[in-house]
Amino acid sequence: MQAHGSTQPTTDQSPSRSGVFSAQTDKRLEAFSESISFDHRLYQHDIRGSIAHARMLAHCGLLTQEEFAQIESALREIESEIAAGKMAWRPELEDIHMHIESALIERLGDVGRKLHTARSRNDQVNTDLRMWIRDALDEVDSLLQRLQRAFVDRCERDADVILPAYTHLQRAQPVTAAHFWLAYVEKFQRDRDRIADCRRRVNICGLGAAACAGTSLPIDRQMTAEELGFEGVAANSIDVSSDRDFVVETAFVLAMIAEHLSGWAEEWILWSTVEFGFLKLPHQFCTGSSIMPQKVNPDTLELTRGKTARVIGNLQTLLVLIKGLPLAYNRDLQEDKPPLFDSFDTVRACLELAIPIVEQAQLQREAIAQRLDDGFLDATTLMEHLILQGIPQRTAHHLVGKLVGMAQARRCRLADLTPDELRSACADLDPSALDALGVEKAVKAYRSYGSSNPQLVEEQVQRWRQRLQ
Ligand code: ARG
């Protein structure tokens, strides 16, 4: 049927330019406003959304079943064509939504011209992006789970290692290596919990909000939402058209992961220095120097730390982007995708490299053990021992500080102080207090929940093992 033959839009201009326009788009605007160079990544989600939309239109009598069948099969062909890299991107078609719709119209003519019934690109892009983010979050979640497993596996391998824990990067107290590794497992679990929480808000369908006010056409929004695996239907069409909270939230979740990776990277960069000598990094993830033959540089970790700056910057970009936008859709919102995609790509790449590094890095057990007597790691244990003997905490704290001063002057351990030296610090100090000293005893003496007590840590390792299965 060609009833509207003479008034049909041509395909050399964006289909969004209706009959109202009296001039062609300036080429400079075309280049300025295109988003196909980055939003082509949404093509699978866009096609999935369009098929669900068309199925719903047919169900509601806005398309015939035959028209739906044609649209579905043409959209699947277009999908394969894009997947095969055969579709040329044309800036005049602006974005992925227009490219797919134009390709559909090229194939099906008037039937293709019906797909955009009761839909706007405003609800369409919101829906596509939510579907894309769902998948992205799932992928990041499974990488985080693998990273957690890598740390838990290390707990068993490094079960007998005691490490100094630091505060202010000064030696603080002895801990088991497993306790250290589980600290990271906890952080990454919070990241995963944030993903799950964020995903709940992402997983709401805006399709059918149309431009901003909804539609007078008889559609079934519940049906498309269910078809696309959404958990609910957004209740306010104006909100849908303007909402990018879920993009900002995703960027925050990713930034928090990057922050955790960056702190870990910094720590392992330090640990792999000659000065620390705690860790040997796997050489396949290190680089050399073009001039200094001895160098093995921790570039993967440095770049993980460095790229975190971009991920934080992307969050800032998005927050500023939506600041002060009036309702509902504004074209500014198109700028959400480059920072979002970049944060995802960056965090994914960092995680993919972090996993094998955590799996393969080797603790330098001997170097660590040799220096566990440095830095009075057991001073707090001694203080707590004195507290148990009835000495008030503040007094014990002061007293042990004095003993540390004496040991520093003599360049010896607390355990090497003589009974006379002890008595000179405090007349009624029982020299048996020294029996509590040494990092092994200090570690075993911990008893509070969440402490580095080896038995308690082992219980946590088993708990994580089960949880991460
Ligand atoms: N490419 C656009 C975006 O990402 C799609 C929505 C365009 N809507 C419009 N009314 N021009 O936001």
Say if residues 154 and 177 touch (Cβ distance below 8 Å): yes
> Residue 126's pLDDT is what?
98
12 pLDDT above the threshold of 70? no
Question: What values do phi and psi take at 346, rounded to 5?
Answer: -70, -45
Say if residues 159 and 182 touch (Cβ distance below 8 Å): no
Q: Ligand 1 mean position to 335 CA, how many Å?
A: 10
> Residue 7's pLDDT is what?
56
Q: Please tell me whether the overall predicted TM-score, pTM, comes out greater than 0.85 for this model.
A: yes
Structure tokens at 441: 């005893």
Domain extent listing, the chain: 27-117, 122-370, 379-467
| Cβ 35 under 6 angstroms from ligand 1 | yes
pLDDT category at 220 given cuts 50, 70, 90 is very high
What percentage of the chain has pLDDT greater than the value 70?
A: 97
Is 289 one of the catalytic residues? yes
Rounded Cα gap, residues 81 and 87, in angstroms: 6
Q: Which of 18, 168, 216, 290 is catalytic?
A: 168
Fold of 27-117: Fumarase C; Chain B, domain 1 (1.10.275)
Q: Which of 391, 388, 418 is nearest to 403 (CA)?
A: 418
> Residue 429's pLDDT is what?
84
Place of tokens 């959209």: 75
* pLDDT tens digits for range 335-357: 999 999 999 999 999 999 999 99
Q: Which of 170, 349, 328 is nearest to 258 (CA)?
A: 349
* pLDDT tens digits for range 240-267: 999 999 999 999 999 999 999 999 999 9
- Ligand 1 atom 11: residue of nearest CA: 331
Is 168 one of the catalytic residues? yes
pLDDT category at 3 given cuts 50, 70, 90 is very low
9 pLDDT above the threshold of 60? no
**Which CATH architecture describes the domain 379-467?**
Orthogonal Bundle (1.10)
Rounded Cα gap, residues 129 and 245, in angstroms: 12
- Cα–chain-centroid distance for residue 394? 43
Average pLDDT over residues 56-60: 98
pLDDT category at 433 given cuts 50, 70, 90 is confident
The listed CATH number (3.30.1120.80, 3.40.30.10, 1.20.200.10, 3.30.1060.10) that belongs to domain 122-370: 1.20.200.10
> Residue 322's pLDDT is what?
98
> Residue 17's pLDDT is what?
87
Same fold for the pair 27-117 and 379-467? no
> Residue 1's pLDDT is what?
43
- Ligand 1 atom 12: residue of nearest CA: 334
> Residue 5's pLDDT is what?
47
> Residue 63's pLDDT is what?
98
Q: Ligand 1 mean position to 229 CA, how many Å?
A: 23
| Cβ 250 under 6 angstroms from ligand 1 | no
